[in-house]
Structure 1
Amino acid sequence: MLNRSQEMEEQCLPIVSLVIVADKSRCPANFVPITSTHDDNSDADLWKDGFGFGIFTRSVRYLAVNRRVADTNGPLEVLTDLAVISDKEAVPSSFICLDFTVDTKERALKKKFLCARFSPRNEALDAVTNIIILGKTKRPPRGYSLAGEVDGMSICFKVSTIPENYGRLTHSQSHELDRLGNCNLSSASPAVTGLYPTVNRHSTSDLDKVGQNVIQSTNQHNINAVFRGIDRVPFELNPLFAFVLSEKNVVSFVNFFN
Protein backbone atom coordinates (compact mmCIF):
# COMPACT_ATOMS: atom_id res chain seq x y z
CA MET A 1 0.00 0.00 0.00
CA LEU A 2 1.46 3.36 -1.06
CA ASN A 3 1.64 6.19 1.46
CA ARG A 4 0.60 9.71 0.53
CA SER A 5 4.06 10.90 -0.55
CA GLN A 6 4.69 7.77 -2.62
CA GLU A 7 1.29 8.15 -4.24
CA MET A 8 2.00 11.78 -5.16
CA GLU A 9 5.39 10.81 -6.57
CA GLU A 10 3.78 7.97 -8.54
CA GLN A 11 1.25 10.36 -10.07
CA CYS A 12 4.08 12.45 -11.55
CA LEU A 13 5.14 9.55 -13.79
CA PRO A 14 3.66 9.03 -17.27
CA ILE A 15 0.97 6.39 -17.70
CA VAL A 16 2.25 3.66 -20.01
CA SER A 17 -0.78 1.32 -20.11
CA LEU A 18 -4.53 1.66 -19.65
CA VAL A 19 -7.25 -1.01 -19.31
CA ILE A 20 -10.84 -1.45 -18.18
CA VAL A 21 -11.67 -4.32 -15.82
CA ALA A 22 -14.92 -5.96 -14.70
CA ASP A 23 -13.39 -6.98 -11.37
CA LYS A 24 -11.03 -4.59 -9.60
CA SER A 25 -9.37 -7.51 -7.81
CA ARG A 26 -8.33 -9.02 -11.14
CA CYS A 27 -6.27 -6.17 -12.53
CA PRO A 28 -3.14 -7.21 -14.46
CA ALA A 29 0.19 -6.92 -12.66
CA ASN A 30 1.30 -3.34 -11.91
CA PHE A 31 -2.13 -1.89 -12.79
CA VAL A 32 -3.90 0.25 -10.20
CA PRO A 33 -7.71 0.54 -10.45
CA ILE A 34 -9.45 3.90 -10.03
CA THR A 35 -12.16 2.91 -7.56
CA SER A 36 -13.23 6.26 -6.07
CA THR A 37 -14.32 9.55 -7.62
CA HIS A 38 -12.08 12.56 -7.12
CA ASP A 39 -14.77 15.02 -6.02
CA ASP A 40 -17.03 13.13 -3.60
CA ASN A 41 -15.13 9.88 -2.97
CA SER A 42 -18.03 7.77 -4.26
CA ASP A 43 -17.77 4.54 -6.25
CA ALA A 44 -16.02 5.19 -9.59
CA ASP A 45 -17.93 2.42 -11.36
CA LEU A 46 -18.37 3.28 -15.05
CA TRP A 47 -21.22 0.78 -15.58
CA LYS A 48 -24.09 1.67 -13.27
CA ASP A 49 -26.79 -0.87 -14.12
CA GLY A 50 -28.50 -0.79 -10.71
CA PHE A 51 -28.79 -4.59 -10.45
CA GLY A 52 -27.15 -6.77 -7.85
CA PHE A 53 -29.18 -8.79 -5.42
CA GLY A 54 -29.53 -12.41 -4.34
CA ILE A 55 -27.34 -14.70 -6.42
CA PHE A 56 -26.83 -12.05 -9.09
CA THR A 57 -23.72 -9.89 -9.08
CA ARG A 58 -23.97 -6.32 -10.26
CA SER A 59 -21.87 -5.58 -13.34
CA VAL A 60 -19.17 -3.00 -12.77
CA ARG A 61 -16.39 -1.41 -14.79
CA TYR A 62 -13.26 0.21 -13.43
CA LEU A 63 -10.49 2.05 -15.20
CA ALA A 64 -6.98 0.86 -14.28
CA VAL A 65 -3.65 2.50 -15.07
CA ASN A 66 -0.05 1.34 -15.15
CA ARG A 67 2.99 3.58 -14.69
CA ARG A 68 5.61 0.85 -14.33
CA VAL A 69 8.09 0.59 -17.17
CA ALA A 70 8.53 -3.04 -18.24
CA ASP A 71 12.02 -4.47 -17.85
CA THR A 72 12.58 -4.91 -21.57
CA ASN A 73 14.75 -3.53 -24.34
CA GLY A 74 11.70 -2.79 -26.46
CA PRO A 75 10.60 0.77 -27.28
CA LEU A 76 8.66 2.56 -24.53
CA GLU A 77 5.33 4.24 -25.30
CA VAL A 78 3.49 6.71 -23.07
CA LEU A 79 -0.15 7.80 -22.96
CA THR A 80 -0.52 11.24 -24.57
CA ASP A 81 -4.27 11.77 -25.04
CA LEU A 82 -7.71 10.46 -24.06
CA ALA A 83 -11.16 10.82 -25.62
CA VAL A 84 -14.64 9.44 -24.94
CA ILE A 85 -16.75 8.91 -28.07
CA SER A 86 -20.15 7.47 -28.90
CA ASP A 87 -20.18 3.84 -30.01
CA LYS A 88 -21.53 5.11 -33.34
CA GLU A 89 -18.57 7.40 -33.98
CA ALA A 90 -15.38 6.44 -35.77
CA VAL A 91 -12.28 6.02 -33.64
CA PRO A 92 -10.07 9.13 -34.07
CA SER A 93 -6.92 8.79 -36.13
CA SER A 94 -3.88 7.45 -34.21
CA PHE A 95 -6.09 6.42 -31.25
CA ILE A 96 -6.86 2.90 -30.05
CA CYS A 97 -10.20 1.86 -28.59
CA LEU A 98 -10.63 0.16 -25.21
CA ASP A 99 -13.75 -1.69 -26.25
CA PHE A 100 -13.48 -4.82 -24.05
CA THR A 101 -12.60 -5.55 -20.44
CA VAL A 102 -9.15 -7.06 -20.11
CA ASP A 103 -10.19 -9.67 -17.53
CA THR A 104 -13.55 -10.97 -18.87
CA LYS A 105 -13.51 -9.83 -22.53
CA GLU A 106 -16.93 -8.19 -22.11
CA ARG A 107 -18.03 -4.90 -23.55
CA ALA A 108 -16.18 -2.16 -21.67
CA LEU A 109 -18.73 0.67 -21.59
CA LYS A 110 -22.39 1.24 -22.41
CA LYS A 111 -22.95 3.26 -25.60
CA LYS A 112 -19.50 4.80 -25.30
CA PHE A 113 -15.90 4.00 -26.15
CA LEU A 114 -12.82 5.20 -24.32
CA CYS A 115 -10.04 5.91 -26.81
CA ALA A 116 -6.37 6.42 -25.99
CA ARG A 117 -3.39 7.63 -27.94
CA PHE A 118 0.11 6.36 -27.19
CA SER A 119 3.34 7.87 -28.51
CA PRO A 120 6.97 6.67 -28.42
CA ARG A 121 8.77 8.10 -25.39
CA ASN A 122 11.64 9.42 -27.51
CA GLU A 123 9.17 11.48 -29.57
CA ALA A 124 7.03 12.84 -26.71
CA LEU A 125 7.70 15.85 -24.50
CA ASP A 126 4.43 15.63 -22.55
CA ALA A 127 2.35 12.69 -21.37
CA VAL A 128 -0.75 11.89 -19.35
CA THR A 129 0.37 11.48 -15.74
CA ASN A 130 -2.96 11.18 -13.93
CA ILE A 131 -6.58 10.25 -14.61
CA ILE A 132 -9.46 11.08 -12.29
CA ILE A 133 -13.19 10.43 -12.38
CA LEU A 134 -15.73 13.01 -11.20
CA GLY A 135 -19.07 11.85 -9.82
CA LYS A 136 -20.98 15.12 -9.55
CA THR A 137 -18.77 17.97 -10.74
CA LYS A 138 -18.87 18.52 -14.48
CA ARG A 139 -16.02 20.99 -14.64
CA PRO A 140 -12.52 19.44 -14.47
CA PRO A 141 -10.14 20.70 -11.76
CA ARG A 142 -7.40 23.14 -12.64
CA GLY A 143 -4.70 21.49 -14.72
CA TYR A 144 -7.01 18.72 -15.97
CA SER A 145 -8.79 18.25 -19.30
CA LEU A 146 -12.13 16.57 -19.88
CA ALA A 147 -12.00 13.38 -21.96
CA GLY A 148 -15.78 12.95 -21.86
CA GLU A 149 -18.68 11.57 -19.85
CA VAL A 150 -19.62 7.95 -19.24
CA ASP A 151 -22.88 7.12 -17.45
CA GLY A 152 -22.96 10.52 -15.75
CA MET A 153 -19.31 10.26 -14.68
CA SER A 154 -16.68 12.65 -16.06
CA ILE A 155 -13.29 11.22 -17.02
CA CYS A 156 -10.53 13.84 -16.73
CA PHE A 157 -6.80 13.63 -17.32
CA LYS A 158 -3.71 15.66 -16.54
CA VAL A 159 -0.85 16.23 -18.97
CA SER A 160 2.62 16.98 -17.60
CA THR A 161 6.11 17.40 -18.97
CA ILE A 162 8.05 14.14 -18.99
CA PRO A 163 11.25 14.22 -16.90
CA GLU A 164 14.24 14.52 -19.22
CA ASN A 165 15.86 11.24 -18.14
CA TYR A 166 12.64 9.20 -17.94
CA GLY A 167 12.69 6.14 -20.20
CA ARG A 168 14.75 7.82 -22.90
CA LEU A 169 17.25 5.73 -24.85
CA THR A 170 20.72 7.19 -25.18
CA HIS A 171 22.42 7.11 -28.58
CA SER A 172 24.70 4.24 -27.51
CA GLN A 173 21.75 2.23 -26.14
CA SER A 174 19.78 2.74 -29.33
CA HIS A 175 22.76 1.68 -31.45
CA GLU A 176 23.29 -1.41 -29.28
CA LEU A 177 19.62 -2.41 -29.64
CA ASP A 178 19.89 -2.05 -33.40
CA ARG A 179 23.05 -4.16 -33.49
CA LEU A 180 21.70 -6.94 -31.26
CA GLY A 181 18.16 -7.02 -32.60
CA ASN A 182 18.83 -6.71 -36.32
CA CYS A 183 22.02 -8.61 -37.12
CA ASN A 184 20.00 -11.02 -39.24
CA LEU A 185 16.97 -9.30 -40.76
CA SER A 186 15.74 -12.43 -42.49
CA SER A 187 15.47 -14.42 -39.25
CA ALA A 188 14.38 -11.62 -36.91
CA SER A 189 10.93 -12.00 -35.37
CA PRO A 190 8.93 -9.31 -33.55
CA ALA A 191 9.09 -9.48 -29.77
CA VAL A 192 5.93 -9.31 -27.69
CA THR A 193 6.09 -7.71 -24.26
CA GLY A 194 3.28 -7.04 -21.82
CA LEU A 195 -0.04 -6.13 -23.41
CA TYR A 196 1.38 -4.40 -26.45
CA PRO A 197 3.49 -5.91 -29.24
CA THR A 198 6.72 -4.18 -30.15
CA VAL A 199 8.30 -3.73 -33.55
CA ASN A 200 11.93 -4.56 -34.30
CA ARG A 201 14.15 -1.50 -34.75
CA HIS A 202 16.43 -1.24 -37.79
CA SER A 203 19.31 1.17 -38.10
CA THR A 204 19.72 3.22 -41.30
CA SER A 205 22.98 1.48 -42.16
CA ASP A 206 21.34 -1.95 -41.92
CA LEU A 207 18.51 -0.87 -44.21
CA ASP A 208 21.00 0.60 -46.72
CA LYS A 209 22.88 -2.70 -46.82
CA VAL A 210 19.67 -4.62 -47.39
CA GLY A 211 18.70 -2.22 -50.18
CA GLN A 212 22.08 -2.64 -51.88
CA ASN A 213 21.81 -6.43 -51.69
CA VAL A 214 18.33 -6.31 -53.19
CA ILE A 215 19.52 -4.06 -56.05
CA GLN A 216 22.53 -6.30 -56.76
CA SER A 217 20.36 -9.40 -56.68
CA THR A 218 17.81 -7.77 -59.00
CA ASN A 219 20.48 -6.62 -61.48
CA GLN A 220 22.06 -10.07 -61.55
CA HIS A 221 18.65 -11.61 -62.13
CA ASN A 222 17.96 -9.21 -65.01
CA ILE A 223 21.35 -9.95 -66.61
CA ASN A 224 20.76 -13.68 -66.41
CA ALA A 225 17.24 -13.29 -67.73
CA VAL A 226 18.36 -11.93 -71.14
CA PHE A 227 20.41 -15.03 -71.95
CA ARG A 228 18.85 -18.03 -73.68
CA GLY A 229 20.08 -21.61 -73.82
CA ILE A 230 22.41 -21.18 -76.84
CA ASP A 231 23.57 -17.64 -76.12
CA ARG A 232 26.73 -18.71 -74.32
CA VAL A 233 27.78 -21.36 -76.92
CA PRO A 234 30.90 -20.05 -78.77
CA PHE A 235 30.17 -19.09 -82.38
CA GLU A 236 32.20 -21.03 -84.94
CA LEU A 237 31.88 -20.71 -88.76
CA ASN A 238 31.52 -23.88 -90.80
CA PRO A 239 34.98 -24.68 -92.26
CA LEU A 240 33.48 -25.04 -95.77
CA PHE A 241 32.07 -21.50 -95.73
CA ALA A 242 35.29 -20.16 -94.25
CA PHE A 243 37.15 -21.68 -97.18
CA VAL A 244 34.65 -20.40 -99.74
CA LEU A 245 34.62 -16.83 -98.41
CA SER A 246 38.36 -16.55 -98.81
CA GLU A 247 39.20 -14.31 -101.83
CA LYS A 248 41.78 -16.77 -103.07
CA ASN A 249 39.27 -19.59 -103.27
CA VAL A 250 36.36 -17.88 -105.07
CA VAL A 251 37.21 -19.66 -108.32
CA SER A 252 37.54 -22.98 -106.56
CA PHE A 253 34.13 -22.38 -104.99
CA VAL A 254 32.53 -21.88 -108.43
CA ASN A 255 34.29 -24.94 -109.85
CA PHE A 256 33.18 -26.92 -106.81
CA PHE A 257 29.52 -26.50 -107.69
CA ASN A 258 30.10 -26.93 -111.44
Structure 2
Amino acid sequence: MSIKFERVDVSLKKQVIDAMRKAIVEGSFVPGQKLVERELCQWFDVSRSLMREVLQQLEAEALITIVPFRGPMVSEIQLDEAKSIYAVRQALEALAGAGCAQFASESDIAALQTNLALIAQCQGAADQKALVNAKNEFYNVLLNACGNPVVKEILTGLNNRINSLRRLSMGQPGRLTDTVHELQEIIDAIRNRDAQLASRLCAEHVGKAANIALQVMAKQTEEVSSTKDVATHQ
Protein backbone atom coordinates (compact mmCIF):
# COMPACT_ATOMS: atom_id res chain seq x y z
CA MET A 1 0.00 0.00 0.00
CA SER A 2 1.36 3.40 -0.95
CA ILE A 3 -0.36 6.74 -0.47
CA LYS A 4 1.30 9.68 -2.19
CA PHE A 5 0.34 13.34 -2.23
CA GLU A 6 0.87 16.19 -4.61
CA ARG A 7 3.16 18.86 -3.20
CA VAL A 8 0.60 21.69 -3.37
CA ASP A 9 -0.22 24.73 -1.23
CA VAL A 10 -1.34 22.58 1.70
CA SER A 11 1.77 21.27 3.47
CA LEU A 12 2.60 17.59 3.25
CA LYS A 13 2.41 17.34 7.04
CA LYS A 14 -1.15 18.71 7.07
CA GLN A 15 -2.18 16.35 4.29
CA VAL A 16 -0.93 13.35 6.27
CA ILE A 17 -2.59 14.60 9.48
CA ASP A 18 -5.90 15.05 7.65
CA ALA A 19 -5.63 11.59 6.05
CA MET A 20 -4.78 9.90 9.34
CA ARG A 21 -7.56 11.75 11.15
CA LYS A 22 -10.04 10.72 8.46
CA ALA A 23 -8.94 7.08 8.69
CA ILE A 24 -9.55 7.12 12.45
CA VAL A 25 -12.86 8.98 12.22
CA GLU A 26 -14.18 6.65 9.51
CA GLY A 27 -13.05 3.55 11.38
CA SER A 28 -10.34 2.39 8.96
CA PHE A 29 -8.10 2.49 12.02
CA VAL A 30 -10.11 1.06 14.93
CA PRO A 31 -9.88 1.89 18.66
CA GLY A 32 -7.09 -0.07 20.31
CA GLN A 33 -5.29 -0.78 17.03
CA LYS A 34 -1.51 -0.57 17.24
CA LEU A 35 0.02 1.76 14.66
CA VAL A 36 3.43 0.70 13.38
CA GLU A 37 5.48 3.77 12.57
CA ARG A 38 7.50 2.05 9.83
CA GLU A 39 4.34 0.86 8.07
CA LEU A 40 2.76 4.32 8.30
CA CYS A 41 5.85 5.86 6.70
CA GLN A 42 5.61 3.38 3.83
CA TRP A 43 1.87 3.87 3.33
CA PHE A 44 2.09 7.66 3.24
CA ASP A 45 5.52 7.79 1.58
CA VAL A 46 6.94 10.19 4.17
CA SER A 47 9.96 10.33 6.45
CA ARG A 48 9.96 8.98 9.97
CA SER A 49 10.59 12.46 11.41
CA LEU A 50 7.50 13.87 9.65
CA MET A 51 5.38 10.91 10.73
CA ARG A 52 6.41 11.46 14.35
CA GLU A 53 5.23 15.09 14.09
CA VAL A 54 1.93 13.82 12.65
CA LEU A 55 1.50 11.35 15.51
CA GLN A 56 2.26 14.07 18.07
CA GLN A 57 -0.51 16.24 16.60
CA LEU A 58 -3.02 13.37 16.64
CA GLU A 59 -2.02 12.59 20.23
CA ALA A 60 -2.74 16.25 21.12
CA GLU A 61 -6.21 15.75 19.60
CA ALA A 62 -6.63 12.60 21.76
CA LEU A 63 -7.16 10.48 18.64
CA ILE A 64 -4.12 8.34 19.34
CA THR A 65 -2.26 7.36 22.49
CA ILE A 66 1.50 6.88 22.53
CA VAL A 67 2.17 4.06 25.00
CA PRO A 68 5.69 3.97 26.51
CA PHE A 69 7.78 1.09 25.11
CA ARG A 70 4.90 0.05 22.82
CA GLY A 71 4.38 2.98 20.49
CA PRO A 72 1.23 4.63 19.13
CA MET A 73 -2.24 3.11 19.13
CA VAL A 74 -5.69 4.42 18.26
CA SER A 75 -7.23 5.82 21.43
CA GLU A 76 -9.96 3.87 23.20
CA ILE A 77 -12.66 5.73 25.11
CA GLN A 78 -13.61 4.31 28.50
CA LEU A 79 -17.12 4.48 29.92
CA ASP A 80 -16.54 7.32 32.40
CA GLU A 81 -14.74 9.39 29.77
CA ALA A 82 -17.59 8.79 27.30
CA LYS A 83 -20.10 10.06 29.85
CA SER A 84 -18.09 13.26 30.29
CA ILE A 85 -17.69 13.80 26.55
CA TYR A 86 -21.42 13.37 25.92
CA ALA A 87 -22.27 15.80 28.74
CA VAL A 88 -20.02 18.48 27.23
CA ARG A 89 -21.25 17.72 23.72
CA GLN A 90 -24.87 18.03 24.86
CA ALA A 91 -24.28 21.50 26.30
CA LEU A 92 -22.30 22.74 23.29
CA GLU A 93 -24.68 21.34 20.69
CA ALA A 94 -27.52 23.16 22.41
CA LEU A 95 -25.52 26.38 21.91
CA ALA A 96 -24.81 25.46 18.30
CA GLY A 97 -28.49 24.80 17.59
CA ALA A 98 -29.54 28.11 19.09
CA GLY A 99 -26.85 29.97 17.18
CA CYS A 100 -27.79 28.28 13.93
CA ALA A 101 -31.43 29.35 14.37
CA GLN A 102 -30.19 32.94 14.69
CA PHE A 103 -27.47 33.08 12.05
CA ALA A 104 -27.97 30.33 9.45
CA SER A 105 -28.61 31.49 5.91
CA GLU A 106 -31.22 29.95 3.65
CA SER A 107 -28.42 28.13 1.80
CA ASP A 108 -27.17 26.74 5.14
CA ILE A 109 -30.66 25.41 5.92
CA ALA A 110 -30.90 23.90 2.43
CA ALA A 111 -27.52 22.21 2.98
CA LEU A 112 -28.73 20.76 6.29
CA GLN A 113 -31.78 19.35 4.52
CA THR A 114 -29.63 17.88 1.73
CA ASN A 115 -27.31 16.18 4.19
CA LEU A 116 -30.24 14.81 6.17
CA ALA A 117 -31.49 13.19 2.96
CA LEU A 118 -28.07 11.55 2.56
CA ILE A 119 -28.26 10.27 6.14
CA ALA A 120 -31.72 8.82 5.47
CA GLN A 121 -30.44 7.04 2.36
CA CYS A 122 -27.96 5.10 4.53
CA GLN A 123 -30.70 3.07 6.22
CA GLY A 124 -29.98 -0.61 5.76
CA ALA A 125 -26.49 -0.02 4.34
CA ALA A 126 -23.88 -2.52 5.48
CA ASP A 127 -20.99 -0.04 5.25
CA GLN A 128 -21.33 2.68 7.88
CA LYS A 129 -18.65 4.94 6.39
CA ALA A 130 -21.20 6.70 4.19
CA LEU A 131 -23.45 7.24 7.21
CA VAL A 132 -20.61 8.61 9.35
CA ASN A 133 -19.52 10.93 6.54
CA ALA A 134 -23.08 12.19 5.96
CA LYS A 135 -23.61 12.78 9.69
CA ASN A 136 -20.26 14.57 9.96
CA GLU A 137 -21.12 16.80 6.99
CA PHE A 138 -24.47 17.65 8.60
CA TYR A 139 -22.60 18.81 11.69
CA ASN A 140 -20.05 20.71 9.61
CA VAL A 141 -22.87 22.79 8.16
CA LEU A 142 -24.51 23.26 11.57
CA LEU A 143 -21.27 24.36 13.22
CA ASN A 144 -20.19 26.64 10.38
CA ALA A 145 -23.56 28.39 10.57
CA CYS A 146 -23.86 28.69 14.35
CA GLY A 147 -21.90 31.95 14.59
CA ASN A 148 -19.62 30.70 17.37
CA PRO A 149 -16.13 29.59 16.23
CA VAL A 150 -15.19 28.39 19.73
CA VAL A 151 -18.17 26.02 19.87
CA LYS A 152 -17.27 24.83 16.37
CA GLU A 153 -13.65 24.15 17.30
CA ILE A 154 -14.43 22.23 20.48
CA LEU A 155 -17.35 20.24 19.07
CA THR A 156 -15.41 19.25 15.95
CA GLY A 157 -12.69 17.79 18.16
CA LEU A 158 -15.20 15.98 20.35
CA ASN A 159 -17.10 14.57 17.38
CA ASN A 160 -13.85 13.27 15.88
CA ARG A 161 -13.09 11.48 19.15
CA ILE A 162 -16.47 9.83 19.58
CA ASN A 163 -17.18 8.64 16.05
CA SER A 164 -16.73 5.04 17.20
CA LEU A 165 -19.45 5.66 19.80
CA ARG A 166 -21.69 7.32 17.21
CA ARG A 167 -21.35 4.25 15.02
CA LEU A 168 -22.25 2.19 18.08
CA SER A 169 -25.46 4.15 18.77
CA MET A 170 -26.52 4.56 15.13
CA GLY A 171 -26.01 0.84 14.55
CA GLN A 172 -28.72 -0.10 17.05
CA PRO A 173 -32.05 -1.27 15.55
CA GLY A 174 -34.37 1.63 14.80
CA ARG A 175 -31.91 4.31 15.88
CA LEU A 176 -31.26 5.70 12.40
CA THR A 177 -34.98 6.20 11.78
CA ASP A 178 -35.25 8.07 15.08
CA THR A 179 -32.14 10.10 14.24
CA VAL A 180 -33.60 11.26 10.92
CA HIS A 181 -36.81 12.33 12.69
CA GLU A 182 -34.90 14.18 15.43
CA LEU A 183 -32.65 16.00 12.96
CA GLN A 184 -35.65 17.02 10.85
CA GLU A 185 -37.23 18.60 13.91
CA ILE A 186 -33.98 20.50 14.53
CA ILE A 187 -33.93 21.77 10.93
CA ASP A 188 -37.56 22.85 11.21
CA ALA A 189 -36.80 24.81 14.40
CA ILE A 190 -33.82 26.47 12.71
CA ARG A 191 -35.92 27.32 9.65
CA ASN A 192 -38.55 28.88 11.94
CA ARG A 193 -35.81 30.86 13.74
CA ASP A 194 -36.84 29.34 17.06
CA ALA A 195 -33.52 29.38 18.92
CA GLN A 196 -34.93 28.08 22.20
CA LEU A 197 -36.59 25.07 20.54
CA ALA A 198 -33.53 24.32 18.38
CA SER A 199 -31.36 24.39 21.50
CA ARG A 200 -33.63 21.99 23.38
CA LEU A 201 -33.98 19.60 20.44
CA CYS A 202 -30.20 19.47 19.92
CA ALA A 203 -29.68 18.67 23.60
CA GLU A 204 -32.36 15.98 23.51
CA HIS A 205 -30.86 14.44 20.36
CA VAL A 206 -27.44 14.12 21.98
CA GLY A 207 -29.01 12.82 25.20
CA LYS A 208 -30.82 10.02 23.36
CA ALA A 209 -27.70 9.03 21.42
CA ALA A 210 -25.69 9.09 24.64
CA ASN A 211 -28.13 6.83 26.48
CA ILE A 212 -27.93 4.21 23.74
CA ALA A 213 -24.16 4.32 23.32
CA LEU A 214 -23.48 4.28 27.06
CA GLN A 215 -25.83 1.36 27.62
CA VAL A 216 -24.06 -0.66 24.93
CA MET A 217 -20.66 0.32 26.35
CA ALA A 218 -21.72 -0.65 29.87
CA LYS A 219 -22.91 -4.05 28.61
CA GLN A 220 -19.66 -4.61 26.73
CA THR A 221 -17.65 -3.65 29.81
CA GLU A 222 -19.61 -6.13 31.93
CA GLU A 223 -19.07 -8.88 29.36
CA VAL A 224 -15.32 -8.24 29.26
CA SER A 225 -15.17 -8.21 33.06
CA SER A 226 -17.10 -11.48 33.27
CA THR A 227 -14.80 -13.11 30.73
CA LYS A 228 -11.75 -12.05 32.72
CA ASP A 229 -13.31 -13.41 35.94
CA VAL A 230 -13.96 -16.77 34.30
CA ALA A 231 -10.43 -16.92 32.94
CA THR A 232 -9.00 -16.05 36.36
CA HIS A 233 -10.85 -18.89 38.09
CA GLN A 234 -10.01 -21.55 35.54
Q: Which interval holds the TM-score relative to the shorter structure?
A: under 0.3
Larger radius of gyration: 1
TM-score scaled by structure 2?
Answer: 0.25
Q: Which has the higher contact order (CA 8 A, sep 6+)?
A: 2
Instruction: Name the one with the larger helix percent.
Output: 2
TM-score scaled by structure 1?
Answer: 0.24
